[in-house]
């Protein structure tokens, strides 16, 4: 009985006083969180839901701000540094605007910069499609090969074409 108490006490002390580490978020996970948040903005714009776009843009901004750039290679860090301010600028504007048209204007440059960043970082874990709207003369990233246009929503939902496919690079 005394041995059992000693073992239990030792286990309790070990659990309580053992150094605990917070799970470190990898660069790959963080970049894919940015991609997921971006896709949330895109999907909200497809449906014409400006409030959902605002909310998703806030999530995108938060995801951008938590990327551990110190984990990037020097080349990836240079690329990340070149695009971070641009992504934050457009995300912030989308998150602060109630106008779907204004949100879509900022989504144009956000999408252009996201494509260049994702293509250059080579950390996406899922296939992404760069799609093009000839009416807007602008691109966006999609998780689906099916065209769903965020620039015109239900007015021209299937207007566009896939221009490039980014295969999963990281797992």
DSSP secondary structure string for all residues of 87-109? HHHHHHHHHH---HHHHHHHHHH
For the segment 112-124, the average pLDDT, to the nearest whole number, is 97
pLDDT band at 135 (very low <50, low <70, confident <90, very high): very high
Between 7-21, 44-58, 88-102, the lowest mean confidence (pLDDT) is in 7-21
Q: Specify the pTM.
A: 0.85
pLDDT at residue 155 is higher than 50: yes
How many C-alpha atoms does 108 have within 13 Å on its Cβ side? 13
Q: pLDDT value at position 24?
A: 57
As a residue count, the chain comes to 171
Q: pLDDT value at position 67?
A: 96
């Amino acid at each position: 009985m005394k041995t059992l108490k000693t073992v239990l006490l030792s286990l309790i002390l070990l659990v309580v006083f053992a150094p605990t580490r917070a799970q470190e978020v990898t660069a790959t996970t963080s970049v894919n969180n940015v991609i997921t948040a971006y896709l949330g903005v895109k999907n909200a714009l497809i449906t014409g839901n400006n409030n959902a776009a605002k909310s998703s843009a806030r999530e995108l901004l938060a995801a951008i701000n938590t990327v551990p750039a110190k984990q990037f290679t020097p080349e990836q860090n240079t690329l990340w540094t070149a695009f971070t301010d641009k992504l934050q600028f457009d995300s912030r504007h989308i998150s602060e605007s109630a106008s779907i048209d204004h949100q879509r204007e900022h989504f144009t440059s956000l999408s252009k910069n996201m494509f260049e960043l994702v293509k250059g970082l080579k950390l996406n874990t899922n296939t992404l499609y760069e799609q093009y709207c000839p009416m807007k003369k602008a691109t966006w990233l999609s998780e689906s090969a099916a065209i769903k246009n965020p620039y015109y929503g239900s007015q021209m939902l299937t207007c566009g074409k896939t221009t490039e496919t980014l295969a999963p690079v990281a797992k």
